[in-house]
Amino acid sequence: MPELPEVETVGRLIRPGLVGRTITGTRVTWTRSLGGLSKPKFAKAVIGARVTSVWRRGKYLVFDLKRGRKSAGCLVGHLRMSGRMHVEAGDWNPGRHSRVRLDLDNGKAFHFIDVRKFGRLIYGDTPDRVWPALGPEPLSPDFTAEWLHENLRSRKRQLKPLLLDQSFLAGLGNIYVDESLFQAGLHPTRVSNEVRAPQAAKLHAAIRRTLEEAIEREGSSFDTFYRTPEGQPGSYQHQFLVYGRQGKPCRSCKKPIVRIVVGQRGTHVCGRCQPKPRQRSRNAHTALYSAHD
DNA sequence: AGCTACTCCTGGTAGC
DNA sequence: TGCTACCAGGAGTAGC
For A66-100, what is each residue's pLDDT tens digit? 999 999 999 999 999 889 999 999 999 998 899 99
Cβ of residue A222 lies below 7 Å from strand B: no
Task: Give the nucleotide nearest to A2 (CA→C1').
Answer: C10
Task: Give the nucleotide nearest to A32 (CA→C1').
Answer: B8
Q: How far is CA A183 from each of CA A32, A204, A243, A264, rounded to the nearest angstrom?
A: 39, 10, 12, 22
- pLDDT per residue as tens digits for the range A222-279: 554 455 555 666 888 888 999 988 889 999 999 999 999 998 899 999 999 999 877 6
Output DSSP code: residue A292.
H
Mean pLDDT of chain A: 89
Same domain, A83 and A24: yes
Same domain, A117 and A160: no
For strand B, list residues 112-131 of chain A whose Cβ lies within 7 Å of it.
Answer: 115-118
A275: in domain: no
- By the 10 Å C-beta count (0-12 exposed, 13-18 middle, 19+ buried), A279 is classed as exposed
Amino acid at A236: Y
Same domain, A97 and A167: no
Across A192-196, A210-214, A263-267, least confident range: A263-267
Distance, angstroms, CA A116 to C1' B6?
18
Yes or no: say if A40 and A63 are a contact pair by the CB < 8 Å rule: no
Cβ of residue A176 lies below 7 Å from strand C: no
Cβ of residue A116 lies below 7 Å from strand C: yes
Map residue A160 onto helix, strand or coil. Answer: helix
Cβ of residue A71 lies below 7 Å from strand C: no
Same domain, A116 and A233: no
Question: What H or E segment, with its residue span, contains residue A12?
Answer: helix A4-18
- Region A208-226 average pLDDT: 80
| Residue ranges in A108-196 assigned as alpha helix (H) | 145-153, 159-164, 174-184
Task: Give the nucleotide nearest to A3 (CA→C1').
Answer: C10
Q: Which nucleotides of B are covered by protein (CB under 7 A)?
A: 1-6, 8-12
Q: How many folded domains does chain A comprise? A: 2
Amino acid at A188: P
Region of A132 please: left (phi>0), alpha (psi -120 to 50) or beta: beta
Q: How many helices (H) and strands (E) in chain A?
A: 7, 10
Distance, angstroms, CA A264 to C1' B7?
14
Same domain, A8 and A75: yes
Question: What H or E segment, with its residue span, contains residue A268?
Answer: strand A265-269
Same domain, A210 and A251: yes
- Residue A292 scores a pLDDT above 70: no
Same domain, A116 and A149: no
Amino acid at A116: R
Give residue A116's domain range.
4-129
